[in-house]
């Protein structure tokens, strides 16, 4: 599957590698989300982020969305290559994010306390966005998106 980056005016103006946003759901285009399926589970995905060669503020990766949301971005130094992203949810909705180059050795990157959304529970998924207008945007290829216990 391929997600093309989409411009959004409020598309994380001070976009750093990983960003927490509090107060409401992140409302950006090109998010593919699923409601959290259980109290404790793991999401693993294999992606390749291919941003436009011009600096147009593109970012892509995993998102946990709710009243407080978290964007776990593919690192800049890993663009244009296949990488593995993982997030584990424990029974207390604590999310732990991991990164791997080979899908076998995982490096813990950050934690985040998930909070339900306004109308439904928290959601987890993928995103690809940019903060500048251009006709030839980059994309994120997704090999798989797996949920496991």
For the record, the structure tokens of 20 come out as 């927490």
Q: Which domains does the chain have, with CATH numbers?
A: 2-148 (2.60.120.200)
* DSSP element (H, E) containing 143: strand 139-148
Is residue 13 scored above 70 in pLDDT?
A: no
The verdict on pTM exceeding 0.75 is: yes
The structure tokens 């946990």 sit at 64
DSSP strand pairing (2-4 vs 139-148): antiparallel
CA neighbor of 138 nearest in space, from 47, 16, 72, 12: 47
**pLDDT at residue 23, as a whole number:** 43
**pLDDT at residue 20, as a whole number:** 52
Condensed to tens digits (0 to 9), the pLDDT of residues 74-129 reads: 999 999 999 999 999 999 999 999 999 999 999 999 999 998 776 778 899 999 98
Decide which of 65 and 24 is more confident: 65
CA neighbor of 32 nearest in space, from 69, 68, 3: 3
Contact at 8 Å (CB) between 125 and 26?
no
The structure tokens 């949301």 sit at 69
Contact at 8 Å (CB) between 49 and 3?
no
């Amino acid at each position: 599957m391929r997600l093309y980056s989409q411009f959004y005016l409020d598309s994380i103006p001070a976009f750093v590698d990983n960003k927490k946003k509090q107060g409401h759901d992140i409302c950006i285009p090109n998010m593919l989300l699923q409601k959290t399926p259980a109290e404790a589970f793991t999401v693993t995905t294999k992606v390749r982020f291919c941003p436009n060669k011009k600096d147009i503020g593109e970012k892509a990766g995993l998102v946990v969305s709710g009243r407080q949301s978290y964007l776990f971005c593919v690192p800049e130094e890993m663009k244009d290559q296949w990488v593995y992203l993982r997030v584990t949810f424990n029974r207390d909705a604590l999310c732990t994010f991991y990164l791997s180059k080979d899908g076998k050795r995982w490096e813990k990157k950050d934690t985040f306390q998930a909070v339900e959304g306004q109308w439904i529970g928290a959601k987890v998924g993928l995103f690809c966005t940019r903060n500048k207008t251009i006709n030839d945007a980059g994309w994120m290829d997704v090999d798989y998106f797996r949920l496991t216990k």
